[in-house]
Structure formats: C-alpha cells, structure tokens
C-alpha cells in the first residue's frame, strides 16, 4: 500500500481511508456465501418491514440474528458489572452524543445503546462544507455509500434548531467515515451544537471488529455491503464506550477519545476526496 503513502498521517503513519478486506477460499465465496445469503435475506426483509411497527425490537433482531453482531457497552467511571448504573447512564432524548463514524451500522448501534424507543426520535448532525445538516438515521447510514461530502439532509439554522428538542442527537463530528483506525479531524463548524439549550452531552467511541466492517470510501454499494454482513467468517463485535461530557464542549470530546487511546490524525474530508480520486485511478 506504499502507493497510498501520501494519505498517511505524518504524525502517526496511520492511513485512515484505506478499505480493508479478508480473503476467502473459492468454496466459501462461491458455495457457502450464496447459501447464507439465500437463507438470511428473506428474514432480513421481514424484519426490515417490522421496523415500521416495532423499530427497536426489529433492529435488534437484525443485529443479533441476521448480522450476529455482539455489542459490549461500557460507561466511563462505572464497573462493567454495575448493570443498573450503566443502564441509567445510556443516552436518551435531549442528549447530544458525539461519536466517531466508520460504518453504516454506527447510527443503529447508538440507537440500540440508548433509552430511545422510536427510530424517528434519532437525529444525526453532520458537518458538510461550512454548515451543519440534520439527517434521519437511514440517511446517515447511507452516507457511507454516497459521493464524499455530498450535501444531504436539512441545513441546521437558528430557526429550525428547535426541531431537535426531545430527540437523541448524534453528531458525526468528522463529517465522513474512516476505517476505524483513527479519528479524523473535527470540523470547525461544530460549536453551535454545544450551545443547544436543555441538552446533556456525551462522547461515544465505537470500535469495530473485524476491521473489514468499516466503509471508509464508497467502494461497495448497500446491497453488496449487506451481503458481506450476511457472510462474515467471524462474528462481528463492537465495543461501545460512553464518556459523559458535563462541560458540553468539543474540547472535552476530543480529550475523551485521547484518554481512550484513539489516535487523532490531521486528515479530513478534503484529503479523503483526493484519496478516493487517486484510489479509483489506481484500481481500475
């Protein structure tokens, strides 16, 4: 991957945009995987439609039964065995959660790791260019497959920020996805988020295993990605670490990531666009 060395962070040497894949044997690729897709796809469709009636149970069933995702939720300062206190600390309506972003699944992991029952009560804020945009959970999941930096959702203004009241607000502060190896540069337009009245603040770290789950650049479509989730050779696992942010500041969120050993790189959306253009030219 030396040909992509220009998009490694100079301080850490990390290349946060390179997509990773796992090799498969011909038997697995052409026999086992198609059978798994054939078996799982009908159940996925049924559960997908059930998200309209009972969103949380349906999404949870998809994650556990279809994708086989295992989730471990931790809260800063609480012992893992202190289940009751951890449950009380989960994000709820009128909470702003600043999270890293690497997969289409992230917003749903946050939803399942919250007290919110309705998926429509989840709003996602993403910095795009010099503005903030409000997206639904489904729109946020689609970001990984769209052109990098493409405007979507509704522009957040002082006139419409009241629509965030009684919502769980998820902020993907990097503005785009990475391969989960580091935290991209935070956008400079995030400060208004920390001035919302009546909200509490948390920082959430999502760490995915295996490393083939993240979608740092749109090299697969949603159907292809779903097929990959159906056929993973090892069970997916996501570690969720919640850190309260009583100060309600962007600086405190950055410190929370640093305290958890996450490298912050000096690369962002602009560099990712250039990387993707170069990646396409090298892989055609």
Half-sphere exposure of 32 (CA within 13 A, CB side): 11
Under 8 Å CB-to-CB from 185, ≥6 apart: which residues?
A: 174, 264, 265, 266, 267, 268
Query: What is residue 173's DSSP assignment?
Result: T
Asked whether the whole model's pTM tops 0.85, one would answer: yes
- Output the tens digit of pLDDT for each of the chain's 284 residues: 556 677 788 888 899 999 988 888 899 999 999 999 999 999 999 999 999 999 999 999 999 999 999 999 999 999 999 999 999 999 999 999 999 999 999 999 999 999 999 999 999 999 998 899 999 999 999 999 999 989 899 999 988 899 999 999 999 999 999 999 999 999 889 988 998 999 999 999 999 999 999 999 999 999 999 999 999 988 999 999 999 999 899 999 999 999 999 999 999 999 999 999 998 888 76
Enumerate the β-bridge partners of residue 124: 135, 170
Give phi and psi for 53, each to the nearest 5: -100, -45
Cα 142 from Cα 132, distance rounded (Å): 17
Task: Tell me which residue of 148, 158, 69 sits closest to 105, measured CA to CA.
Answer: 69
Assign 133 to helix, strand or coil: strand
Query: What is residue 147's DSSP assignment?
Result: P
39 burial level (CB within 10 Å; 0-12, 13-18, 19+): exposed
The counts of H helices and E strands in the chain are: 9, 8
Tokens of 161: 């920020």
Query: Quick one: residue 76, left, alpha or beta (phi over 0 = left, psi -120 to 50 = alpha)?
Result: beta
Task: Tell me which residue of 138, 173, 135 sits closest to 154, measured CA to CA.
Answer: 135
Task: Tell me which residue of 16, 11, 31, 221 sits closest to 102, measured CA to CA.
Answer: 16
Task: Tell me which residue of 14, 17, 24 sits closest to 279, measured CA to CA.
Answer: 17
């Amino acid at each position: 991957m030396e040909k992509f060395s220009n998009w490694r962070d100079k301080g850490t040497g990390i290349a946060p945009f390179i997509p990773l894949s796992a090799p498969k044997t011909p038997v697995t690729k052409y026999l086992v995987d198609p059978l798994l897709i054939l078996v799982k796809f009908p159940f996925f469709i049924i559960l997908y439609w059930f998200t309209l009636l009972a969103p949380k149970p349906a999404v949870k069933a998809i994650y556990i039964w279809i994708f086989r995702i295992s989730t471990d939720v931790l809260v800063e300062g609480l012992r893992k065995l202190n289940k009751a206190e951890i449950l009380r600390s989960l994000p709820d309506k009128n909470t702003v959660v600043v999270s890293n972003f690497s997969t289409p699944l992230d917003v749903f992991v946050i939803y399942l790791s919250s007290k919110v029952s309705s998926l429509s009560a989840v709003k996602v804020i993403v910095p795009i260019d010099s503005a903030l945009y409000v997206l639904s959970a489904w729109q946020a999941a689609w970001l990984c497959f769209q052109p990098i930096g493409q405007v979507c959702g509704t522009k957040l203004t002082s006139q419409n920020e009241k629509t965030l009241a009684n919502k769980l607000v998820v902020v993907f502060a990097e503005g785009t996805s990475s391969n989960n190896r580091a935290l991209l540069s935070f956008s400079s337009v995030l400060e208004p988020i920390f001035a919302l009245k009546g909200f509490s603040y948390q920082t959430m770290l999502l760490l995915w295993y295996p490393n083939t789950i993240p979608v740092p650049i749109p090299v697969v479509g949603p159907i292809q990605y779903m097929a990959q989730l159906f056929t993973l050779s090892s069970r997916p696992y996501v570690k969720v670490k919640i850190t309260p942010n009583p100060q309600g500041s962007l600086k405190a969120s950055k410190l929370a990531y640093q305290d958890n050993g996450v490298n912050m790189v000096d690369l962002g959306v602009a560099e990712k666009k250039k990387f993707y253009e170069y990646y396409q030219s090298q892989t055609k």
